[in-house]
């Protein structure tokens, strides 16, 4: 049970310390869209994304109004495209990226992530095609984000991929130079990427996840800073405990949104 005091503190965190729900990200598995025909694959991907995320923005805004908590961004992540598109008979994946952009615009999300490849142990042909497509794909789309994982503590670093990234990043910057090389801001190069990552621009829906999932990201650095300043000069243990308690209160806002039962069917429409 939340006390009156805790509710008041939460209101202060929102109104005075810039606490907000930074993003609601819907993860969508597109592996069942696989098709050797690129056009059919694009159609399946578009249909699945627009169906699953049809109510994402509306429900996010409804919840924001209901709880009085700002929900700043609504986003989508998909299965790494180099895996999902591996069956396609195509020399590049630019048209696929355009399809993702079209779907993102249709449902009204800010960004869609997952134009990605995981190459920390080596590259498949699909990985190579996707990586080579990144500069053009990011230059002709508005909301598509891309990422490449090229190393891990367990398997080491794929130095061939590292060498290739220099060319890819430079070409992405060149093709988007009229937009201050914005393409590079939508591109992430990882080591030790987690199995499922809902955070842009490196977001992708992990293959171990359910078919569709909701992730809620909280932004509360202003809240932590405010609490830290209140305990300036305190011992380290007190500071750690203060930050921990503050983080838990901030996290509770995300948990509340995820547990909102009567919206679940609208978020995760089948």
Burial status of residue 192 (CB atoms within 10 A of its CB: 0-12, 13-18, 19 or more)? exposed
Domains of the chain: 25-217 (3.20.70.20)
* 3-state DSSP assignment of residue 132: helix
Residue 201 has pLDDT above 50, yes or no: yes
A 10 A CB-CB count for 3 gives 8
pLDDT in tens, 73-102: 789 999 999 999 999 999 999 999 999 999
What's the pTM?
0.78
- Output the six-digit token pair for 114: 């997952």
Residue 57 CA: distances (Å) to CA of 36, 110, 129, 168, 252: 32, 10, 32, 33, 21
Would you report the helix, strand and coil content of the chain in percent, each value rounded to 5? 50, 20, 30
- Output the six-digit token pair for 206: 């992990």
pLDDT in tens, 221-254: 555 555 556 666 666 676 666 666 665 555 555 5
């Amino acid at each position: 049970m939340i006390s009156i005091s805790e509710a008041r503190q939460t209101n202060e965190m929102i109104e005075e310390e810039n606490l907000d729900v930074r993003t609601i990200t819907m993860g969508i598995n597109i592996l069942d869209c696989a098709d050797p025909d690129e056009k059919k694959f694009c159609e399946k991907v578009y249909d699945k994304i627009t169906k699953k995320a049809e109510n994402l923005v509306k429900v996010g805004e409804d919840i924001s109004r209901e709880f009085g908590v700002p929900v700043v961004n609504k986003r989508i992540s998909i299965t790494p495209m180099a895996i999902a598109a591996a069956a396609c008979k195509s020399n590049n994946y630019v048209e696929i990226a355009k399809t993702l952009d079209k779907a993102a615009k249709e449902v009204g999300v800010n960004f869609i992530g997952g134009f990605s490849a995981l190459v920390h142990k080596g590259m498949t042909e699909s990985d190579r095609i996707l990586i080579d497509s990144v500069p053009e794909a990011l230059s002709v789309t508005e909301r598509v984000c891309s990422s490449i994982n090229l190393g891990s503590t367990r398997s080491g670093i794929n130095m061939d991929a590292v060498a290739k990234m220099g060319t890819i990043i430079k070409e992405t910057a060149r093709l988007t130079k009229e937009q201050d090389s914005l393409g590079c801001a939508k591109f992430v190069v990882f080591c030790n990427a987690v199995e499922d990552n809902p955070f842009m621009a490196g977001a992708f829906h992990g293959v171990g996840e359910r078919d569709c999932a909701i992730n809620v990201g909280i932004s509360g650095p202003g809240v932590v800073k405010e609490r830290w300043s209140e305990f300036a000069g305190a011992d380290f243990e007190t500071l750690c405990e203060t930050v921990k308690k503050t983080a838990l209160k901030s996290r509770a806002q995300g948990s509340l949104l995820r547990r909102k039962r009567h919206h679940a069917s609208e978020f995760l429409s089948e």
